[in-house]
Structure 1
Amino acid sequence: MSALLDAPATARLLPYPALVDELARLLTDPAVQVPARLVQPLPGGGSLFVMPALDGRTAITKLITFTPANAGTGRPAIQGDVVVFDTATGERRLVLDGPTVTARRTAAVSALAARWLAPRPDGPLLIVGAGAQGRSHLDAFAECLPLRDVRIASRSVASAQALCDHARALGLRAQVVTDPDAALAECPLAVTCTPASGHVLSAPVRDDAFIAAVGAFTPTMVELAPGLCRSVAERGSIWLDTADARHEAGDLLQAGLDLGGFPTLADYARERASHRGRAGPVLFKSCGWAGWDLAAARLAVSPKP
């Protein structure tokens, strides 16, 4: 019988350094197949996501709901499960907690992108948004990068302070900031992980900046001002987590950019040498992909020492 894992048990199977390495391996695995995800609108403004993926050994379906109206109610915005099957026997092996997989694999993808693309991976790091994704990104960057200093900005002062306290418990220098645009001038690393209901960064970015924008994952959602996106496109480079982001990345689409030529993490994994040494700021736009959930499932079912 397969195990139904809660959030803490799921997290224990997905340590960030190992998850980042598994994500990198998945990008060069020719057996990986990721059909298009189904996004079904729900009454009240929510969405049902059905996201399958498979390789030669493992098949998964992530079945989650995204309910923006839950913000501030005590109920999570993302709920659901990731069901993991053995492809040879059809046996259901695990049921992972969906929000935990989503938070950890999203943060691990950002950490992988920063490891590969950030001019200054030591930070300081600016995190805009102090919810579940803000915490997971803090943990992932702290474990996977040579990070020492973090600044936290949030609409909720209490949430920002709580995340700041967590950062200090990890041994980092940390402070709450009220003006993320001003903090951006001091931070070569930045992550935006907000509900994506409006611009949270609009100031010019440093030449050595790396920004991971993860909150907006539909064409109508946005976190970054159009001018910021266009400036990075002109002065540096824009990267996508996958090709699917070309029709999902609201920040870039609303900036009027042609997304067709922007490279993906898979492009980097296949052609690292040709992408090294690029000058200027880097914007990494992440919209999510069932392949990232498959990587998490592969790690979860792998033999443990």
Structure 2
Amino acid sequence: MSLLLDAVATARLLPTPALVEHLRAVLRDASVEVPPRLVQALHGGGSLFVMPALDRHIAITKLITFTPANAGSARPAIQGDVVVFDVATGERRLVLDGPTVTARRTAAVSLLAAQALAPAPDGPLLIVGAGAQGFAHLEAFAAGLPLRAVRIVSRSAASAEALAAHARAMGLDASVLAQADAALAECPLVVTCTPAREVVLRQRPREDAFMAAVGAFTPRMVELAPELCRHCADTGGIWLDAADARHEAGDLLQAGLDLAALPTLADLVRGTAAARAGSGPVLFKSCGWAGWDLAAARTALEAADRA
């Protein structure tokens, strides 16, 4: 197998069920180390991300650019690679396609949270944003939940219809809607995966809702209105994908919430926090963490070794 894998080959090595199991394993592994990621602003509004992580056996670095101006164009907003090294020998084992890893591991993280926290896992699912993360979340939720129907909202009608067609090809009931807020009454599963330039949800969700917000991953980005975030905090609960989100989650920071005590997926997997703190909607806020890329690298190596 070639060391340098394109998007198709990378996706083939990252099946959702195995990826979710490796996510759990990373959170239980005391040897895992994740140094702070470097985010360097670039001229023109983009950012360079350098994200290392390691365990006893492998060390990885994700090196990607995030270019918001590419949204809606033929060029992806996220570009780059994940390089995987053997700790004992220093050998480079794999170079994975960075956007594919980012999309699939982010969706798998949301699925892991939904499997533990969603009161109504059969949906319907509302997806706000029909880019790469919209496709990845559709596929992950369909693979890991008893999903039957999906509703899609996007600024791009063509992207929304393409995602709906993909959902129908998977055997799901799918429709495109004009307004995201109007769909909240029907949909107890919600994923927001937009470029996070502005608020896309303002209304209160259902009391049995699970919401995964993944588009905003810097303090200045936002998808959810402050009053919506505060409502979840007061009545249901808010979970973070990792502790780093405490200083990165723009939706929550702009809502004026105290993030210091919010539980993370590690608390959930290790059983150190109750799965549901209240009877209202649950908000899962994901900002990304190199530990998730380490889990993806483990998954890919395992699959490659079997091939």
User: TM-score surpassing 0.5?
Assistant: yes
Alignment of 1:146-157 (within 5 A): 146-157=146-157
In 2, the alpha carbon distance for the partners of 1:173 and 1:73 equals: 28
Q: Which amino acid aligns with 1:3?
A: L
In 1, the alpha carbon distance for the partners of 2:269 and 2:120 equals: 20
In 1, the alpha carbon distance for the partners of 2:72 and 2:274 equals: 46
Q: Which amino acid aligns with 1:120?
A: A
For the structure 1 residues 274 and 156, does the alpha-carbon distance in structure 2 shift closer, same or farther, using more than 3 Å as the test? closer
In 2, are the aligned partners of 1:164 and 1:175 still within 8 Å (CA)? yes
In 2, are the aligned partners of 1:202 and 1:228 still within 8 Å (CA)? yes
In 2, are the aligned partners of 1:2 and 1:92 still within 8 Å (CA)? no
In 2, the alpha carbon distance for the partners of 1:127 and 1:103 equals: 14
Corresponding residue for residue 47 of structure 2:
47
Corresponding residue for residue 77 of structure 1:
77
For the structure 1 residues 273 and 51, does the alpha-carbon distance in structure 2 shift closer, same or farther, using more than 3 Å as the test? closer
Alignment of 1:1-20 (within 5 A): 3-20=3-20
Corresponding residue for residue 263 of structure 1:
263
In 1, the alpha carbon distance for the partners of 2:71 and 2:143 equals: 28
Displacement after TM superposition at 1:276 (Å) = 5.3
Q: Which amino acid aligns with 2:306?
A: K
In 2, the alpha carbon distance for the partners of 1:138 and 1:153 equals: 13
In 2, the alpha carbon distance for the partners of 1:272 and 1:125 equals: 29
Alignment of 1:233-248 (within 5 A): 233-248=233-248
Displacement after TM superposition at 1:66 (Å) = 0.4
Q: Which amino acid aligns with 1:164?
A: A
Corresponding residue for residue 286 of structure 1:
286
Corresponding residue for residue 226 of structure 2:
226
Alignment of 1:54-93 (within 5 A): 54-93=54-93
1:304 aligns with 2:295: no
In 1, the alpha carbon distance for the partners of 2:44 and 2:233 equals: 36
Q: What SS does the corresponding residue of 1:27 show, helix, strand or coil? A: helix
In 2, are the aligned partners of 1:34 and 1:290 still within 8 Å (CA)? yes
Displacement after TM superposition at 1:271 (Å) = 1.2
In 2, the alpha carbon distance for the partners of 1:57 and 1:129 equals: 37
Corresponding residue for residue 216 of structure 1:
216
Q: What SS does the corresponding residue of 2:84 show, helix, strand or coil? A: strand
Q: What SS does the corresponding residue of 2:206 show, helix, strand or coil? A: coil
> Over aligned residues, Cα RMSD in angstroms?
1.3
Aligned residues: 305
In 1, the alpha carbon distance for the partners of 2:156 and 2:280 equals: 32
In 1, the alpha carbon distance for the partners of 2:51 and 2:255 equals: 28
In 1, the alpha carbon distance for the partners of 2:90 and 2:264 equals: 32
In 2, the alpha carbon distance for the partners of 1:290 and 1:273 equals: 23
Displacement after TM superposition at 1:275 (Å) = 3.0
In 1, are the aligned partners of 2:249 and 2:285 still within 8 Å (CA)? yes
Displacement after TM superposition at 1:180 (Å) = 0.7
In 1, the alpha carbon distance for the partners of 2:208 and 2:85 equals: 43
Displacement after TM superposition at 1:2 (Å) = 6.1
In 2, the alpha carbon distance for the partners of 1:274 and 1:295 equals: 24
In 2, the alpha carbon distance for the partners of 1:37 and 1:4 equals: 23
In 2, are the aligned partners of 1:38 and 1:51 still within 8 Å (CA)? yes
In 1, the alpha carbon distance for the partners of 2:274 and 2:69 equals: 44
Displacement after TM superposition at 1:47 (Å) = 0.5
User: What TM-score does the superposition give when structure 1 sets the normalisation length?
Assistant: 0.98
Q: Deviations over 1:171-203 (max 9, x none)?
A: 000100111101011100000000000010000
Q: What SS does the corresponding residue of 2:146 show, helix, strand or coil? A: coil
Q: Deviations over 1:30-57 (max 9, x none)?
A: 0100000000111111100000000010
Displacement after TM superposition at 1:73 (Å) = 2.8
Q: What SS does the corresponding residue of 1:181 show, helix, strand or coil? A: helix
User: What TM-score does the superposition give when structure 2 sets the normalisation length?
Assistant: 0.97
In 2, the alpha carbon distance for the partners of 1:90 and 1:225 equals: 46
Q: What SS does the corresponding residue of 1:175 show, helix, strand or coil? A: strand
Q: Which runs of 5+ in 1 are unaligned?
A: none
